[in-house]
Chains A and B, each alone.
Chain A
Amino acid sequence: MVSLARKNLLKDLPRFLVAQAGIMFAVSLVTIQTGILKGFTRSTTLLIDSSAADIWVASENIVNFELTEPFPYVQVQRARDIEGVALAEALTIGSGRWYSDGKLTTLRVFGFDPNGQLFRPGQVSDTAIEALNAPYSALIDRTNMRSFRIDGVGDMARIRQLPVMVVGLTRDSQSLVSSKFVFTSLVNANAYISSGFSSGLTCQLGEGDITCVNSFQRDEDTGNAEVVDPEPLNSDAPVTYVLIKAAPGEELSTLKQRIESSLPGTKAFTKYELLNTTQAYWQNRTGIGFILGLGAIVGVLVGMVVVAQILYTSVSENLREFGTLKAMGASDWDIYSVILEQSLWMAVLGYIPGLLLCWSVGTWTAATQGIVVLITPISAAGVFGITVVMCVGSAIFAIQKVTRVDPGIVFKA
């Protein structure tokens, strides 16, 4: 079968390449913008995703994964006693300041049970996890090494007034929207988060009721005094989540209700509920989804303008050919299909290199910046669909032009 569309498209190679560059730009912009949005929102829930917990118990005032209120460690112990709970482990999240080379970096401290099973900070070796049982040890994401001014495992720094030794490196554990993450044991985390402060518990007996207040007082600067090992957690130590593994055969929605009624002031989420809540927060309640979506729309519009201009010019220059086709008895659909076929060829031949370019860019940014441009088969197919619609839609102006062509022009010299 002779394809006039394809032959005409490739006849003027420089113009064809310009058109393809325009489509590649559009494809790249849409793919990268949506990829950054997906990668970005995915990064906010990496730690939830890599967890083995079935249920996450948080404060009932939770907003998203990192924005919630702590509750006492005793809730973890109570959770273990709930029917249907096979395992319950604590996760604590707090803020800190990292000092090295005289420079300061803000960070988020994640404390978990290194001997537990339900929390794992991204991809990390078992040896590194076990090493967290040592006092003042921590793991950092390898993309944060430069930010923390760390050359490798074994390097020392300070979190607030306490020493920290890097005992391992993680991968796929850092959120793009947060301060740098540091992972350590619950005991170490408690020490880091509260260091520089002393806690005290003051209780008062009221009318048949006891009211306790946990208070924190800034410590005096201890200078070069010897650092003591962190103290074990007591019942009132603040934790952020209770991670729960359900007993085999346990129905999660029923277990959630049981947990919430046993632990007042808490809300229980399945892993995917917490993941969706957090991602929805970042996509909808911040301006990030809007900004990146707007960038994608701009990409589509630019692509449409480029393709429309190329197709319209091509039709205008080849009007005599279309007049000849009409004179020869080509139907309207025969003629439209030439233009539509050209637009489809442009879509496919622009999409493939555009996607390859995005994949290359995404690989590079992930390796060097830790920024993930997430391109899934579904998103790639979606971008292809958008590209096809963009190109075919752009053909409308060219089709309008050719519809009005007077076949009598074939008789003009």
Chain B
Amino acid sequence: MVAIAAHNIQMSFMSGTTETKVLKGIDLAIPPGQIRLMMGPSGSGKTTLLSILAGILTPTAGQVQLLGQEITTLSRKELTAFRRDHIGFIFQSFNLFPALTALENIELALQLKGYKGPGNQEQAFDLLKQVGLGDRANNLPADLSGGQKQRVAIARALAGEPELIMADEPTAALDSATGHDVIELMQYLAKNKGCTVLIITHDPRITDAADEITYLEDGVLAKQSSLVTGLH
């Protein structure tokens, strides 16, 4: 079974009477447990593709299958439930809830997934420890460094043990060393948890963490092998 499959994904946006084609027929297959990087210049359509694969955006044409489930025909409510149950997100700007502590950010994610009761806190703490922040449980995001915030975000994304992790530029706001640490952590956790990880990035520093790299330019996929060689 393929974890993430996309067939002939097309996406157009209308601006007045002008139609802009952002994605021009993307085919993609990501096997379970793989760490896939999707790279490309700004404006290539990476974030749009990620939004479609996450079920946040509906493509103009094409189908998406996640974990064997055709999601392009699901209703908005069903898509929301699918994301909740099967996908963890990591964002460029971390998107932690500033009024909640590191621990509470993870607890909230567990609550959303239907985990209730005193076991939540324990579970959230375990996740924090796994990302090396057990001693920062009661800190607010404002008291954490960029790298620490992203670690909390990773722990939050892993809450409820989703099968899919989708990360949008997870290292963009981080320095080289921290970014590398974060990717190594994602790599380690993905392998241990068996998650399929899709990372949108144009950070060349993290290419060695990937099992495979896909290159997107002008809304179409390019062959990547030789380009990866070129980058190194």
Task: Report which A residues bind B (CB closer than 8 A).
Answer: 1-2, 4, 7-8, 10-11, 320-321, 324-332, 334, 407-408, 410-411, 413
Contact = CB atoms under 8 A, between A and B. Distances in A.
Closest 10 CB pairs of A and B: A329-B84, A7-B99, A329-B83, A11-B99, A324-B95, A2-B104, A2-B107, A2-B108, A411-B47, A407-B56
A328 B109 contact: yes
Interface in B71-85: 77, 80-85
Nearest to A9: B99
A278 to B, nearest CB: 55
Given A1-B116, A8-B99, A411-B51, A331 B77 contact: yes
Contacts of B214: none
Contact of B112 (A7, A321, A329, A411): A329
Contacts of A328: 83-84, 89, 109, 112
Contacts of A327: 54, 56, 83, 89
B87 A329 contact: yes
B26 interface: no
Contacts of B108: 2, 4
Given A11-B98, A408-B51, A1 B111 contact: yes
B91 A410 contact: yes
A331 B76 CA distance: 10
Given A1-B111, A7-B100, 10 more contacts: A2-B104, A8-B97, A324-B97, A327-B89, A328-B84, A328-B112, A329-B85, A331-B81, A411-B51, A411-B168
A139 B97 CA distance: 69
B227 interface: no
Contacts of A330: 80, 84, 112
Nearest to A10: B99
27 contacts: A2-B104, A4-B97, A4-B100, A7-B97, A7-B99, A7-B104, A8-B97, A8-B99, A320-B93, A321-B95, A324-B89, A324-B91, A324-B97, A326-B80, A327-B54, A328-B83, A328-B84, A328-B89, A328-B112, A331-B77, A331-B80, A408-B57, A410-B91, A411-B47, A413-B93, A413-B169, A413-B172
Given A407-B56, A413-B93, A413-B172, A2 B87 contact: no
A8 to B, nearest CB: 5
A11 B89 CA distance: 25
Given A408-B56, A408-B57, A325 B112 contact: yes
Contacts of B89: 324, 327-328, 410
A93 B2 CA distance: 97
B61 interface: no
A1 B107 CA distance: 8
A413 B82 CA distance: 25
Interface in B86-136: 87, 89, 91-93, 95, 97-100, 104, 107-109, 111-113, 116
Contacts of B85: 329
**Residue in A321, A328, A332 whose Cβ sees the most chain B Cβ within 10 Å:** A328
Contacts of B189: none
B228 interface: no
Interface in B36-81: 47, 50-51, 54, 56-57, 77, 80-81
A329 B80 contact: yes
Contact of A2 (B81, B100, B173): B100
Contacts of B107: 2
Interface string B134-170: 0000000000000000000000000000000000110
B162 to A, nearest CB: 10
A13 B173 CA distance: 29
Contacts of A408: 51, 56-57
A157 to B, nearest CB: 67
B112 A413 contact: no
A393 to B, nearest CB: 25
Contacts of B87: 329
Contacts of B116: 1
